[in-house]
Structure 1
């Protein structure tokens, strides 16, 4: 497939990196430094030019393009790029936008703007925050099989109950599969005698109840069902969307916004949220409003430094869990080391969503882990699958190392897979796959 990616920033570069192994990727950007960088770092054709210009698109081979991904930092530019691509070719077009209202307009107007698929960075980021907030200690969460199956990734702390245990000893939960251990740069497919060590990232797949029970065993932090107080700092669009999604979960968060006009606007739009007009970096305000009693503080200000400061103040006051936006992807690990429990990078969230969409053509649903080191796929089994009417232990023996069957959905029921389990046609199988063997496994399944 010939793919044109317009915009070689963090989003475009991540998308190009995830697609260049399997597709012919052309990247367009106006910045010569970005073009030089991506030329040396990725196996792509890089062109310096304006992606909204027909001449540049023709130079990139738009007539033969199957997919155009517009991923610049300007919403309107991305929409124009998709329209221009449709004017001179017939590719499938994907536009990245920040403003959620543009997404809503597009959703109400089939084929509007010449965009076939649109991703809102702000909405995707808010959805990621709410998913992560729903499970204590989780760094990544995704649902499959219509919500019947959940996948989550947790980091094992030194004082964790399962640190030093074997997988067999740690497997105390019904309907739960230990899919993998991510240790340093290695993806470990666990066996019963595999020892879980501090610093490992554990990937589990199972029912929501089992994953939640496992999460509770790792940390005393509350789930959303138990949370008494959630404070959102920042009335940005991400802050608004996050509050709206928490309201949809039946919660009543508090939102702190410094600008009086924006605070008034948010109060009118969020009937289930208490909006407070103040500066959240004012520690006297935080104490006065009993923010120390909050279970979760989410910082979504427009400055990484302010998000870090708010998180540090919240932790100092005794808040159990902090989640913060980190716009600079290279700072996520640093911020998580010094103050934020979970750092969410909107650009990475967006690039993963776009990449996930391009890969859903071969699976019902896809989740990517650790910047594409592994994937969790939901696949409907048909007669061409290696799993069709086979016992799992027999089918797995013929597949390469790096595959774990995590769960099976059959007629709305969850089946916890075992070696003797026979997979039937029509089953939805949730499978963990190391990206090293991804192409071979997806072709077989």
Structure 2
């Protein structure tokens, strides 16, 4: 696809890096010449210096031949204007990043009236992700598929667990049926396991199942979870507002600690049912005074990654509470991984996931559309959901007889609202949705999982 990316901030750079790897023709546009030159030198992309809201600049960037324009500048209004000009100038598909909570309430109206393909809000997406994690606090991550019917839960096997030294092939027969182990992280290595793989305490496991089956499984292995009834949020930015609104709807009490008095006043007006504390959330004394030891969940959302990491480490050592931390810089991924923090979210990565999902759905062959995409295990693994609309080499054949590529695991099939954790005798039929986990990054079509 011919793609124009307007705005070369964190999300723009991440998109340019990922999309250029997937055989797309990319042109980046930004008013900062240094940033444009650096991107063009680092990745296989073209660069144009200028205002992306200018029709002549977009023409220079190849608007006439563009299939997609993605506007991710710092300004919501500029992003919307870029998309309007692109629609008028070439009728290409358009995606706008819109972050203002006021616009978020009107996103469906804006998308329809302006003819946008997608409006994306990283802060809202991040809050949704955190909310899902807090609903299942023993999980590191929770990813939804098949309109919420299937969940991929990522968790660490605790010490002295019944799962320690268990062969995966014995899991269903000897311990618990109805779950499927999709990926294992051990010593910075990621494995799509076979039945002979032996689980160990300390492994980080990605497991596919339904919500109720997962709950039953965790109870069966004595990995008891506790319901989050109250949450403390450090930092009062946009993510905090969205998250507080979601948690309050779930009857979870919310306390926000914010250092800026003016912002505290705004938060009081926006969130009358939340408790707002004006103070330094990085002050351990304040956290203790605000009874962090009696908090079910702590979410660190300051503007500084280092503060969020230190707060998470403090909380993990002092209290038995669920801790979720926001990290902006992907350069810290390896450091964060080695610290064994509880749960970490990367807003720009979540934003990139959604856009990659859209791009691949547009690229792939008709008949097996991507409907969901998640990047797992520090972007080393992808979980993809495909709609199977027509007969192909995939359909009507027992899974054990399909010539599936190494590094691909079919972990779930949904048929007529029924969730199937597949075995070798199961078959895929037209109308099903199929969920796979793979170390082969960049798959666009369900048939790409088969050897030629």
- Alignment TM-score > 0.5, same fold: yes
Say which of 199, 203, 208 aligns to 1:205: 208
Other-structure match for 2:60? 59
Other-structure match for 1:143? 144
Name the CA distance, whole Å, in 2 between partners of 1:43 and 1:136: 41
**1:252-301: per-residue Cα shift (whole Å, max 9, x none)?**
22222344454344344335433334432343332233211212100112
Which ranges in structure 1 are unaligned for 5 or more consecutive residues? Answer: none
Other-structure match for 1:88? 89
Q: CA deviation at 1:235?
A: 2.0
Other-structure match for 1:192? 195
Say which of 404, 409, 412 aligns to 1:404: 409
Q: CA deviation at 1:68?
A: 0.4
Other-structure match for 2:366? none
Other-structure match for 2:2? 2
1:246 counterpart SS class:
helix
Judging changes above 3 Å, is the alpha-carbon distance between structure 1 residues 423 and 220 closer, same or farther for their aligned structure 2 residues?
closer
Q: CA deviation at 1:5?
A: 1.3
2:356 counterpart SS class:
helix
Other-structure match for 2:167? 166
Name the CA distance, whole Å, in 1 between partners of 2:80 and 2:445: 36
**RMSD in angstroms over aligned alpha carbons?**
3.0
Q: CA deviation at 1:388?
A: 1.9
Judging changes above 3 Å, is the alpha-carbon distance between structure 1 residues 221 and 76 closer, same or farther for their aligned structure 2 residues?
farther
Tell me whether 290-299 or 159-168 shows the greater mean CA deviation.
Answer: 159-168
The alignment status of 1:297 with 2:298, answered yes or no, reads: yes
Whether contact under 8 Å (1:11, 1:350) holds in the other structure is: yes
Name the CA distance, whole Å, in 2 between partners of 1:37 and 1:240: 35
The alignment status of 1:387 with 2:391, answered yes or no, reads: no
Tell me whether 214-223 or 342-351 shows the greater mean CA deviation.
Answer: 214-223
2:253 counterpart SS class:
coil
Whether contact under 8 Å (2:370, 2:445) holds in the other structure is: no
**1:44-99: per-residue Cα shift (whole Å, max 9, x none)?**
22333332222321122100101001122333332222223223211111011322
Whether contact under 8 Å (1:332, 1:344) holds in the other structure is: no
Other-structure match for 1:424? 429
Whether contact under 8 Å (1:234, 1:300) holds in the other structure is: yes
The equivalences for 1:215-230 within 5 A come to: 222-223=225-226, 226-230=227-231
Whether contact under 8 Å (1:376, 1:431) holds in the other structure is: yes
The equivalences for 1:228-243 within 5 A come to: 228-243=229-244
Tell me whether 197-206 or 95-104 shows the greater mean CA deviation.
Answer: 197-206
Name the CA distance, whole Å, in 2 between partners of 1:330 and 1:248: 35
Say which of 359, 362, 372 aligns to 1:365: 372
**1:169-192: per-residue Cα shift (whole Å, max 9, x none)?**
555333211122345676533112
State the TM-score, normalized to the length of structure 1: 0.87
Name the CA distance, whole Å, in 2 between partners of 1:440 and 1:80: 33
Whether contact under 8 Å (2:390, 2:431) holds in the other structure is: no
Whether contact under 8 Å (1:100, 1:122) holds in the other structure is: no
Name the CA distance, whole Å, in 1 between partners of 2:254 and 2:317: 21
Name the CA distance, whole Å, in 1 between partners of 2:51 and 2:156: 42
The equivalences for 1:424-443 within 5 A come to: 424-436=429-441, 438-439=443-444, 441-443=446-448
Q: CA deviation at 1:438?
A: 2.2
Whether contact under 8 Å (2:30, 2:36) holds in the other structure is: yes
Judging changes above 3 Å, is the alpha-carbon distance between structure 1 residues 179 and 73 closer, same or farther for their aligned structure 2 residues?
same
Other-structure match for 2:285? 284
Q: CA deviation at 1:203?
A: 2.1
Other-structure match for 2:383? 376
Other-structure match for 1:38? 39
Name the CA distance, whole Å, in 2 between partners of 1:253 and 1:10: 30
Other-structure match for 1:134? 135
Judging changes above 3 Å, is the alpha-carbon distance between structure 1 residues 319 and 259 closer, same or farther for their aligned structure 2 residues?
farther
Which ranges in structure 2 are unaligned for 5 or more consecutive residues? Answer: 363-368
Q: CA deviation at 1:231?
A: 1.1
2:236 counterpart SS class:
coil
Q: CA deviation at 1:145?
A: 1.5
**1:121-167: per-residue Cα shift (whole Å, max 9, x none)?**
21011112112233345343211112111113334567665454332
**1:232-265: per-residue Cα shift (whole Å, max 9, x none)?**
1222121111111112333222222344454344
Name the CA distance, whole Å, in 1 between partners of 2:277 and 2:382: 41
How many matched pairs?
441
Tell me whether 338-347 or 55-64 shows the greater mean CA deviation.
Answer: 338-347
Whether contact under 8 Å (1:298, 1:323) holds in the other structure is: yes
Whether contact under 8 Å (2:209, 2:421) holds in the other structure is: yes
